[in-house]
Amino acid sequence: MLYSENIAIGLEQPEVNTLVTGKFVLEVTEDAERDRHLTVTVELAPGLRGSDEMAQAIGRSILAQLRRLNSEFANYVPPAKQPPVVHLRETGDPDYFPPGAKHRYTRG
């Protein structure tokens, strides 16, 4: 159930591509009720600081591409669970996007 290619396309869309570098980390996280969520941590373009509005716009773009390109996701993930949780990080964030390190798109 890897959606990396679909997420990358979501980040390339005109409405959000100027906000991001294209780097992201994909994780499946659990909340207190043990419900699983698709979580995407996205690196912002240099000089930008994240906002709720930016995270929501990026989330909408990712979700639209997941639904369009991935029939398994669109048909088998319940609609209420489909919107990704989006976290925004500044360029070069040492925990997720350290400069000079090979980028990893997923975390266990």
Q: How confident is the model at residue 1 (pLDDT cuts 50, 70, 90)?
A: very low
- Which tokens in the block code for residue 83? 């919107």
- CATH code of the domain covering residue 72: 3.30.300
Closest CA to 8 of 23, 18, 30: 23
**Number of folded domains that form the chain:** 1
pLDDT in tens, 8-41: 999 999 999 999 999 999 998 888 888 888 999 9
Domain limits for position 35: 4-89
Model pLDDT for residues 36-91, shown as the tens digit of each residue? 889 999 999 999 999 999 999 999 999 999 999 999 999 999 999 999 999 999 99
- 105 belongs to a structural domain: no
